[in-house]
Amino acid sequence: MPETTKPLRGRPPGDARERILQAARQLIGEAGYEATSVPQIVDVAGVAQGTFYRYFKSKAELSKAFADIFNEQLMRKFDEAFRSQIPMFEMMPTIIEQLSKLFQEYHDIMPFLEEHSMPFGTSEYAADLRKKHYARMATVITRDQQNGLIRNDIAPELLARLGGGVMTNLARMVALEENDQEPAEIFMSGRAFVTAALAPQEK
């Protein structure tokens, strides 16, 4: 166990699952998934090994558990934006900024949870979440198309996938510092790009 990793103490007994997740995240963030073992996790969590298997069938199930937490927070941020009733292109910078903060929060274990994460996951679970998310986004786009705010020559479902992909990748770029530009510049560039792409087409 890394010297920086200390057992978690002072938590109530009923909080065992949360203690396991916190310990696993700490260890995986420090040493990586392959180098982290169940005995290490339960030692840091301060629970018995049998308690771990009461909540998780295997170490691999931790990926889904972390992805569930990540996806819930992600969808909450999108839902808040969609309920605002402002045009899609106006909410873009805010969404990108909020997503980048979330990616930054989880950067230490991002490779570990990506299989089941809504934006990038390859699992059926992730694909189903994306389908529901894009359907919700398409509803907002349809509203804006009917109000003449964005182009209507492309199906809302396709625009949702294109716009969602741009926002997610820009947010990840900021969070993981994959670009030399300042975050504010990336947010504004993203807005300019999406606004131009969504602008109503001149007849």
Name the least confident of 36-50, 87-101, 105-119, 167-181.
Answer: 167-181
Share of residues in the chain with pLDDT > 70 (%): 90
User: For the chain, how many structural domains are there in total?
Assistant: 2
Q: Is 68 part of a structural domain of the chain?
A: yes
The range of the structural domain enclosing residue 134 comes to 62-198
Name the least confident of 21-25, 112-116, 127-131.
Answer: 112-116
Question: Do the beta carbons of residue 172 and residue 114 sit within 8 Å?
Answer: no
Inform me whether the pLDDT recorded for 200 exceeds 80: yes
Q: Is 32 part of a structural domain of the chain?
A: yes
pLDDT given for residue 120 in this prediction:
79
Judge if 41 and 74 occupy the same domain: no
Judge if 69 and 49 occupy the same domain: no
Q: Is 51 part of a structural domain of the chain?
A: yes
Judge if 66 and 141 occupy the same domain: yes
Inform me whether the pLDDT recorded for 48 exceeds 90: yes
Question: Do the beta carbons of residue 159 and residue 198 sit within 8 Å?
Answer: yes
100-120: pLDDT as tens digits:
788 888 888 877 777 888 887
Q: How far apart are CA 182 and CA 170, in angstroms?
A: 12
Q: Is 1 part of a structural domain of the chain?
A: no
From residue 180, give the alpha-carbon distance in Å to each of 4, 96, 183: 31, 17, 9
Q: Is 2 part of a structural domain of the chain?
A: no
Judge if 76 and 88 occupy the same domain: yes
Question: Do the beta carbons of residue 44 and residue 8 sit within 8 Å?
Answer: yes
Judge if 74 and 155 occupy the same domain: yes
Judge if 19 and 69 occupy the same domain: no
Question: Do the beta carbons of residue 176 and residue 103 sit within 8 Å?
Answer: yes
Residues 6+ apart with CB under 8 A from 97: 171, 174, 183, 187
Judge if 49 and 124 occupy the same domain: no
Judge if 37 and 55 occupy the same domain: yes
Q: Is 177 part of a structural domain of the chain?
A: yes
From residue 198, give the alpha-carbon distance in Å to each of 171, 186, 195: 19, 18, 5
Judge if 23 and 81 occupy the same domain: no
pLDDT given for residue 178 in this prediction:
67
Average pLDDT of span 157-168: 86
CATH number for the domain including 36? 1.10.10.60
Judge if 34 and 73 occupy the same domain: no
CATH number for the domain including 172? 1.10.357.10
Q: Is 192 part of a structural domain of the chain?
A: yes
Judge if 114 and 68 occupy the same domain: yes
DSSP string, 28-74: HHHH-STT--HHHHHHHHT--HHHHHHH-SSTTHHHHHHHHHHHHHH
Q: Is 6 part of a structural domain of the chain?
A: no
Judge if 122 and 139 occupy the same domain: yes
